[in-house]
Structure 1
Amino acid sequence: MSTGSERVPGAGEMRACATGFVARITARNRLPLDYSVASLRVVDFLVDGLRKGGADQEGARATLFGLGAYVGEVLVRRAGAVWVDFDADQRTYFGQPVGVRMPDGRIWNPVGKVHNRFELGGPEESLQTFYLTLHGRAHGTAA
């Protein structure tokens, strides 16, 4: 799986991928991407802007991957998740090479969730709502 011609980072590289993406995107714009649950609303806004601006899936692939890395890192920092490399069956099912494992063992696919928001739009695909209704968070990590 690749983001254009680039190799997709493994689980051990996803934190650096997320922080690098945030540094690049916030260098040009004053966006409150602070790894808070509230910042996921900004991600919803950014994905919707790409879609409404006429970007296609391929043209937006690297940005969508960066946003997915960011969403996953919010899950790591706020919900007690850890980045994991998907096995072959999980890669086939999720269509992504990496995801997160929640404290209760559930596996989630934040990169795929961002792609769904881009493809489908609508409030039911909200990344902030995804977090707030997420099963398997560590106790005391609601916000």
Structure 2
Amino acid sequence: MSTVDERIPCAGEMRSWAAAFVARVTARNRLPLDYSVASLRVVDFLVDGLRKGGADRERPRETLFGLGAYVGEVLVRRAGAVWVDFDADQRAYFGQPVGVRMPDGRVWNPVGKVHNRFEAGGPEESLQTFYLMLHGRARRTAA
């Protein structure tokens, strides 16, 4: 698999990208990344750890992208979203090539949201809160 530095995956590759990322980070650590809404607190914690470690944005870029792919996959599995390739206007607006489309048609940028958490920190950038406040979620929860 390519690294983020070499090539950004398209929407059709994001599920496998997220799964490979989870396999990599949980192989060494007992992180509860189980695609549950509660696991988004773990993502908040991990991003905060990167920030507190004094990392600049370039060094953890692949990790941040992997965490964003994971957050997007939680939206796919739990909120009824689907991965989409952004069009040129969306890429310019979000600064990312891929995101998710919710059942109501709204598009969201989970990779960008992880980058926001890294850069700004604080409870207002919580990924778990992002999910809980998210408009357009499906009423049911998918397994």
Q: How far apart are 1:30 and its partner, in Å?
A: 0.1
Q: How far apart are 1:3 and its partner, in Å?
A: 3.0
Aligned to 2:119: 119
Overall identity of the aligned pairs, in %: 86
Aligned to 1:139: 139
1:53, 1:29 → 2: CA distance?
A: 18
TM-score, with structure 1 as normaliser: 0.95
Q: What code does the residue aligned with 2:4 have?
A: T
Aligned to 2:50: 50
TM-score, with structure 2 as normaliser: 0.95
Pick which of 39-48 and 132-141 moved more. 132-141
Q: Give me the CA root mean square deviation.
A: 0.9
2:62, 2:27 → 1: CA distance?
A: 17
2:60, 2:4 → 1: CA distance?
A: 9
Structural mapping, 1:82-93, within 5 Å: 82-93=82-93
Gaps spanning 5+ residues in structure 1: where?
none
Gaps spanning 5+ residues in structure 2: where?
none
Query: Is 2:35 aligned against 1:39?
Result: no
Moved over 4 A (4+): none
Aligned to 1:109: 109
The count of corresponding residues between Structure 1 and Structure 2 is: 139
SS of structure 2 residue aligned to 1:99: strand
Q: What code does the residue aligned with 2:21 have?
A: F
